[in-house]
Amino acid sequence: MKKILVTGGLGFIGSHTVVELQNSGFDVVIIDDLSNTTIDVLANITDITGKKPDFHKIDLRIKADVKQFFDNNKVDGIIHFAAFKAVGESVEKPLEYYENNIGSLVYLLQEMRDRKLDNFIFSSSCTVYGQADELPITENAPVKQAESTYGNTKQIGEEIIKESCNAYELKAIALRYFNPIGAHDSIKIGELPLGIPQNLIPFVTQTAAGIREQLSVFGDDYPTPDGTAIRDYIHVVDLAKAHIAALKRLLENKNKQNFEFFNVGTGTGSSVLEVINAFKKATGKSLNYKIVGRRAGDITAAYADTTIANKELNWKTEKTLEEALLSAWKWQEKQ
Ligand code: WQD
């Protein structure tokens, strides 16, 4: 049975990917520093699959601890989620973000190089495209000057991996996520934003639950049909399954270059107001919201051209926006 290391495996996307890995017959070992999640997620994953993943609480910024892990654990592939990911915070604390997001990546790659490990999947983001000139966004769209330190760590991360693949005979895939939302059908795992949610969907569900007084819609003067900004909201389970597809591509040596990247979205754009209406349709809950000014750094529209990912990964999304929003609401009700 192939053993896969999942860093950040107790996080939102990581935990959903661990479930799909176990469901696909992989043995899973998780590294997480618990800085943005809780240990309860480990039991919740076990409840879903009936298999308890091996877990190590390790801070990947500590090179000696990373080395010690690999002294004691042989793995057939790595899916690397562990990173800080708050866009606004990243601009206030750039050095913490570079130390964590870049430092941990370098230490992992050094161990892969030294031990001739292979098959690396990297959690990247459509944020590398900034505001793309053409929509939907293909993999040929140019990577633009990052709007935030967070986005820059994803761009730099991809460059480091690409150069490492060339120099050290590694093969890797970066998955450029659009906007992950929702929760597992079991409602045992989901998104656990700490503090005031920065992302739209957790704020929507907390407003519907009465935890937040009112949702602020950041701008209705964008050049879009209803004036609000457009994003590609992908169900987190669909996103998790894309990681299995990418991992199998590498394990079966079907990759065409030693470093590849794919846009992982639904291919459909939804505006903020469309999300609010879809949420009401899916859950019956109306939302108290108001239109306010634009949020600094936001782009008008981003949604994926999924042609290449669908073909090369033999993967496509299966869940609808309403299904994702309903699962997010059921998860919120359970908190
Ligand atoms: C979505 C839309 C907001 C909150 C970011 C990162 C991306 C990834 C996902 C980490 C935008 C609007 C939001 C609110 C609102 N992050 N909005 N009121 O900014 O597209 O992407 O999060 O992996 O890399 O860039 O996601 O959910 O913050 O915003 O109107 O209270 O909802 O303006 O149009 P975003 P988001």
Please tell me the distance from the alpha carbon of residue 176 to that of residue 291, in angstroms, as a whole number: 30
Annotated active-site residue in 107, 129, 150, 303: 150
CATH number at residue 314: 3.40.50.720
150 included as an active-site residue: yes
Is residue 56 domain-resident?
A: yes
CA gap 60, 8 in Å, rounded: 10
| The token pair that represents 171 in the structure block | 């093969």
Cα gap 186→89, rounded to integer Å: 32
d(CA 281, CA 71): 52
In a domain, 58, yes or no: yes
Query: What's the pLDDT at 193?
Result: 83
Q: Is residue 141 part of a domain?
A: yes
pLDDT at 195: 87
Q: Phi and psi of 195, rounded to 5°? A: 80, -155
Number of structural domains the chain divides into? 1
d(CA 259, CA 39): 33
Report which protein residue has its CA nearest ligand 1's atom 19.
298
Cα–Cα distance measured from residue 15 to residue 226, given in angstroms and rounded to the nearest whole number: 35
Q: Specify if 286 maps to a domain.
A: no
Is 107 within the bounds of a domain?
Answer: yes
Note whether residue 90 is domain-resident.
yes
Q: How far is CA 195 from the centre of its chain?
A: 19
Q: Which residues line ligand 1 (CB under 6 A)?
A: 85, 87, 125, 127, 179, 198-200, 203, 215-218, 229, 231, 272, 295, 298
What is the model's pLDDT at position 135? 98
What is the pTM (predicted TM-score) of this model? 0.97
Determine the pLDDT at residue 194.
82
Q: Which stretches in the chain have pLDDT values below 50? A: none
